[in-house]
Structure 1
Amino acid sequence: MATTQTTEVVRIRGRLLEEVAKLAYAGRLEKDIMGIMDSIVSEDGPRYRCCVHKERAVLRQRINLTLSQSLDISQEEAVAEALAGKVADVPWLRVLPEACDQCPIDKYLVTDACRNCLAHNCIHSCPKKAIMVVQNRAYIDKSRCVECGLCKKSCQYGAIIEISRPCERACAVGAIVAGGDRKAVIDKDKCVECGICREACPFGAIGDSSVIVQVIRQILAGKKLYAMLAPAFVGHFGPRTKPGQIVNAIKKLGFYAVKEVAYGADIVTLKEAQEFLDTVPSQRSVMTSSCCPAFISMIEKHFPDVKDMVSSTVSPMVATARVIKENDPEAVTVFIGPCIAKKAEARKYAELVDYTLTFEEVAAMITGKGLDIDLMLDDGFESAASGTGNGFACAGGMAEAVVAAVASLDPDAIVKPVNAQGLENCAEAIKQIRSGKIEANLLEGMSCSGGCIGGPGALGNVRVANKLVENFAKQSAAANASANEAAKTDSEKLGHLHR
């Protein structure tokens, strides 16, 4: 159940999650929390920082993050808060100050390739006179430099290079900058909590809060927890692991029942298809998807002028939670998927979605409880969702589902879909649609490359997962949402599902 690139950052994060889950299930978290420190960091190594004291300082903050508490309180306080069911009211993605201290702050750097040529193009191109020759080599005065990049462009030797932090480079919405103390700062007014920066940081200095302790606490209290399993689940617990084994492993964790978010995707598909027919082109020229919270957040924060394009229908996660809560008022709903942005979305729908976990966190819970998913019984799990509902996990899946549903409602309707993967491509697609360069009336936007299967909380290779999801979708009893009678019934019963 390892990721394709199992780096030391991934190993440390996974080890900590496993240890916390193990202690939480055993009821020993409060007593043995400091023991985690000794089991992961010791004088014998391995050493990733300058000294064991630095290692421990970083791990303390990781523990508090894993408990979903403030980074500034003690481990004992953090455990007490987590066991009380509390979740700190802070952004899900946070920078660990103790871990963020290694990246250069200077954006442009003169290398040894500088020949101190006669032309001095770098000096002449600088509008702020920030470049001079010092000891037979060009030197950039950082107090004058405005980081325009003209010096880099003008150097015929390519001796001036541009350096950017991996997290800053990965952020498509410019939400990460270097603070005065050289540590990364996330601008919450720009951040869409997609989680890409977490994967980009080679020091593991950015992390997402986890609610595994709060979820395990609910399980041990005997509450009726419903796992809402994202459509991407098929391809992320091992290429040979069967869907039935995954479902049974989750039940062994203590969940009362497992429900497919792909079924909610069928309900959303039916709603969005009708919304498309009702509003395009009579009220708007283009309708966008509403299933990816990071994509929606990007539009709200960075493209507010096109907010009217966004479908008013809730996401499949929210629709699934609504169905569960309607049928069982005592239900505690827990979304399980590859997405970090869903944690932020769940906070907006707290009355419907109680908790969210990533596949990575669930894998840690399975290991922490001493279970082996490959030894689980496979009793022939059959999907309650349609083929296109299960296909929501892959890039283009939502658009394909809506096109099929629109065709069943109105065969004469013209749908011109386009899908964009990754926030940079999503932003470009919005700009081109807005300027009329793309002739489309349905836009599917996914913040992650490959769609949901490429999310930061995923476990497997995107290409392998894509193929496994496609094969699983082909086995569905209903080809598309319009052929899923149960979903049609629930769609009619729930009425409006507005965001």
Structure 2
Amino acid sequence: MYEQNTQSNYDDIFKRLVKAAYNGDVEQEINKIHQEGNETADKYALYASGGGDPNQVVFKVKDCAGDCVQKTGEDCEASCLFNAVVRDMEGNVVIKHNNCSGCGKCVEVCKNYSLVDKKEFVPIIKLLKDRKQPVFAIVAPAFIGQYAPEITPGKLRAAFKRLGFYGMVEVALFADILTLKEALEFDRLVTKEDHFMLTSMCCPIWFSMVKRVYKDLVPHISPSVSPMVACGRGIKFLHPGAKVVFVGPCIAKKAEAKEEDIKDAVDAVLTFKEVDQIFGVVGIDPAKMSEDPSEHSSTAGRIYARTGGVSKAISDTLNRLWPERKIKIRAIQADGPKDCKEVLKEALEGKIDANFLEGMGCPGGCVGGPRSVADVETGTKRVNEYGSEAESLTPVDNEHVMDLLKHLGIADIHEFLDSEKAAMFIRDFM
């Protein structure tokens, strides 16, 4: 039963466990799966329920002789950016976890579904049902347009609350905050025409490439956390004891959330596809929910979801802060893994003219993430439309951002360069 169409069975097992967890009988359902399946089904149940090594994201479920390469032309070993996937003498996949960044590229191309990424929602359900502490859903800027066109941010927020979440916060609001910080960092770091800066914020694949392969570029990375981490820390600062669940388009964020120096920020990560499955299992149709509006982000934060969005956001903000600044942002965007490698290699060799380097591990940016629901074109179009609907172009003119900063202990934007006052937004890469 479970040797055929194994991906749908992994998803089916996840949905069965979600339903069982809301009904309070998840252990009984796991036992039932064990009785009707085999070793593969047991492993699916383990990882679909959030089990396995707590520090790992990607797991091997069964042996694979590599026949998928002949059928599809896609190879998990070749897809790995960090040489973490190899094959033994019999051709079976072996994951070298010391090399694995958790980016999930191998899972994305594995058509035999011998490799899976852990699903983290089932353990959260108990917290949602108990309602003893607030649990927030924080949604990546790419969320807009992922589901039906009539599902507004307000309706999606209401749907998350129906699941048991205390509230839904757009990470774009904290992307606004980090846009201010990055503009200040650029002003501090790029003072000559030959200086350049790498943004560290959004994409964990881009950051992992620099940290693991192109280490000589680390001094050029801006010392900022990602918007996901900033949002998680901000919520926990304002709501002590709260739990935070990030919702986004990629597997790599599951790995980022487990990194030692930032694992305080986010307690679980869900993908857009997983959320779509969850709504279906529990019978929630976001399109039929009442509006629960609370959208305060600017254009800058909203367009982070697509390639070039970060560069434009920070450039617009820099120009708003210092319109007479002589050295403007000259940005280059790396779009996809191959492009990221080429841009970083050229930066090492001193062959780029740009002074601001933005990298996206997925073609199109976050809207092209492997666990998106909408296609890249639809996602990009909707992100741009949503950006144009914002009341302010940059966070400089966004009164909600300025008010939020005061509540977070930052009275003036220049305090972003104060390592003590802005500690929750700073990451040391050296």
- 2:27 is the alignment partner of 1:64: no
Between 432-441 and 16-25, the greater mean CA deviation after superposition = 432-441
Q: Deviations over 1:320-357 (max 9, x none)?
A: 11221121102111111112111122123222222211
Structure 1 gap segments, 5+ residues each = 1-6, 42-54, 71-87, 108-160
For the residues of structure 2 that align with 1:246 and 1:490, how far apart are their CA atoms? 23
1:94 matched to 2:94? The reply is no
Q: Residue 461 of structure 1 corresponds to which residue in structure 2?
A: 375
1:365 aligns with 2:278: yes
> d(CA) in 2 for partners of 1:416 and 1:488?
27
Corresponding position of 2:86: 177
Residue in structure 2 matched with residue 477 of structure 1 by the alignment:
391
Partner of 2:301: 389
> 1:96-154: per-residue Cα shift (whole Å, max 9, x none)?
1x2x324159x9xxxxxxxxxxxxxxxxxxxxxxxxxxxxxxxxxxxxxxxxxxxxxxx
Q: Distance in 2 between matches of 1:289 and 1:13?
A: 36
Residue 426 of structure 1: CA displacement?
0.6
Q: How does 1:345-494 map to 2 (within 5 A)?
A: 345-348=256-259, 349-379=262-292, 381-411=293-323, 412=325, 413-491=327-405, 493-494=409-410
Question: 1:18 maps to what in 2?
Answer: 15
Q: Distance in 1 between matches of 2:94 and 2:54?
A: 18
Aligned residue for 1:286?
196
TM-score by length of 2: 0.87
Q: CA deviation at 1:14?
A: 2.8
Q: What is the CA distance between 1:406 and its match in structure 2? A: 0.9
Displacement of 1:448: 1.1
> Would the aligned equivalents of 1:21 and 1:364 in 2 still touch at CA under 8 Å?
no
Answer yes or no: is 1:344 the counterpart of 2:266.
no
Match of 2:108 in 1: 199
Residue 276 of structure 1 deviates from its aligned partner by: 0.6
Q: Distance in 2 between matches of 1:61 and 1:180?
A: 24
Give distance in 2, aligned partners of 1:283 and 1:340. 37
**What SS class does the counterpart of residue 347 from structure 1 fall into?**
coil
The percentage of counterpart residues that share the same residue type is 32
Distance 2:336 2:95 in 1: 19
2:242 and 2:277 map into 1 onto residues whose CA distance is 24
Match of 1:233 in 2: 143
Please list, as runs of the form range in 1=range in 2, the aligned pairs for 1:214-225 lying within 5 A after superposition. Answer: 214-222=123-131, 223-225=133-135
Q: 1:374-414, CA deviations, whole angstroms, 9 ceiling, x for partnerless residues?
A: 322245x3521101201011111111111011111222231
Shift in CA distance, 283/26, structure 1 to aligned 2, threshold 3 Å: farther
Aligned-pair distance for 1:284? 7.9
Give TM-score, length-normalised by structure 1: 0.76
Root-mean-square deviation (Å):
2.5
Cα distance between partner residues in 2 of 1:319 and 1:230: 12
**In 2, distance between residues paired with 1:299 and 1:209?**
25
Q: What letter matches 1:68 in structure 2?
A: G
**Structure 1 counterpart of 2:300, one-letter code:** T
CA distance in 2, matches of 1:305, 1:257: 42
Question: Can you list the C-alpha shifts for 1:447-496, whole angstroms capped at 9, x where unaligned?
Answer: 11111111122212111111111111111111122221222344463432
**Residue deviations 1:46-96 (CA, integer Å, cap 9, x gap):** xxxxxxxxx7322211111112223xxxxxxxxxxxxxxxxx334211221
Q: Give the conservation status (yes or no) of the 8 Å contact 2:177–2:395.
A: yes
Contact kept, 8 Å, 2:75 with 2:109, in 1: the verdict is yes
Check the 8 A contact 2:178/2:227 in 1, yes or no.
yes
Quote how far apart the aligned CAs of 1:36 are.
4.0
User: Unpaired segments of 5 or more residues in structure 2?
Assistant: 411-420
Q: Could you tell me whether the CA contact under 8 Å between 1:235 and 1:469 is conserved in 2?
A: yes
Whole-angstrom CA distance in 2 between matches of 1:250 and 1:238: 15
What SS does structure 2 have at the residue aligned with 1:235?
coil
Letter in 2 for 1:92: V
Shift of 1:180: 3.0
Deviation at 1:236, TM superposition (A): 1.4
- CA separation of 1:188/1:32 partners in 2, compared to 1, >3 Å: closer, same or farther? closer
> C-alpha separation between the residues in 2 aligned to 1:221 and 1:248?
19
| Alignment pair present for 1:498 and 2:426 | yes
Distance in 1 (alpha carbons) for counterparts of 2:121 and 2:283:
16
Alignment size in residue pairs: 404
Instruction: State the SS of the aligned residue for 2:230.
Output: helix
Mean Cα displacement is larger for which, 190-199 or 213-222? Answer: 190-199
Hey, what's the Cα distance between the residues in 2 that align with 1:10 and 1:168? 19
Structure 2 residue aligned with 1:149: none
Task: Describe the shift of the 1:254–1:284 C-alpha distance in structure 2 as closer, same or farther (beyond 3 A).
Answer: farther
1:31 Cα deviation from its structure 2 partner? 1.8
The 3-state SS of whatever aligns with 2:38 is helix
Q: Distance in 1 between matches of 2:8 and 2:381?
A: 26
Change (3 A) 1:485 1:378: closer
Closer, same or farther: CA 329–351 of 1 in aligned 2, 3 Å = same
SS in structure 1 opposite 2:316? helix
Residues 357/364 of structure 1: CA separation in 2 closer, same or farther (3 Å cut): same
AA aligned to 1:450 is: G
1:246 maps onto 2:182 in alignment: no
Question: CA 1:220–1:205 in 2, change beyond 3 Å: closer, same or farther?
Answer: same
